[in-house]
Amino acid sequence: MAETGLPETFVDSQVCKFLFNVGECMTRRIERDLCLPSEAIQKVMAELKRERHIYYKDEAMGDFKVALSDSGRDRARRYLIESMYVGPAPVLLEHYIGSVKAQSITKEKPGKEAVRHAFSDILLSPEVLDRLGPAINSGRGLFLYGFPGNGKTTIAERITKSFGHDIWVPYAIYVDGEIIKFFDAENHERVPDEKLNVPAGETYDTRWVKIKRPTIVVGGELTMDTLELRYNPNTRITEPSVQLKSNCGTLVIDDFGRQRMAPIQLLNRWIVPLEKRYDYLTLSNGKKIQVPFDQLIIFSTNLEPKDLVDDAFLRRIPYKINVLDPTEEEYRQLMRFMAGKFQIAYDEPAVDYLVNTHYKAKKRPFRCCQPRDLLLQIMNHSAYHGQEAKMTPETFDVACANYFAVL
pLDDT digits 0-9 by tens, 285-318? 999 999 999 999 999 888 888 888 888 888 888 8
Which residue segments constitute the domains of the chain, with CATH numbers given? 8-89 (1.10.10.10), 95-322 (3.40.50.300), 328-403 (no CATH)
Q: Is the pLDDT of residue 97 over 70?
A: yes
Sign of CA dihedral 60, 64, 65, 70: positive
- Predicted TM-score (pTM) of the model is 0.87
Average pLDDT over every residue of 128-150: 87
Q: What's the pLDDT score for residue 406?
A: 72
Identify the band that residue 119 occupies on the pLDDT scale cut at 50, 70 and 90.
confident
Whole-number pLDDT of residue 202: 75
pLDDT tens per residue across span 159-182: 888 887 899 999 999 999 999 999
Task: Calculate what percentage of the chain has a pLDDT beyond 90.
Answer: 64
Greater confidence (48 vs 261) lies with 48
Q: What is the pLDDT of residue 120?
A: 85
For 56-65, 108-117, 262-271, which range has the lowest pLDDT when averaged over its residues?
56-65
Check whether 1 has a pLDDT greater than 60.
no
Is the pLDDT at 381 greater than 60? The verdict is yes
Task: Determine the pLDDT at residue 195.
Answer: 78
Find the range with the poorest average confidence among 67-71, 321-325, 346-350.
Answer: 321-325
pLDDT band at 201 (very low <50, low <70, confident <90, very high): low
Q: Is the pLDDT of residue 59 over 80?
A: no
pLDDT value of residue 2: 62
Q: Over range 368-381, report the average pLDDT.
A: 95
What pLDDT was estimated at residue 359?
96
**Averaged pLDDT score across all residues of the chain:** 91
Q: pLDDT, tens digit, for every residue of 211-252?
A: 999 999 998 888 999 999 999 999 999 999 999 999 999 999
Count other C-beta atoms under 10 Å from residue 20's C-beta: 18
What's the pLDDT score for residue 315? 83
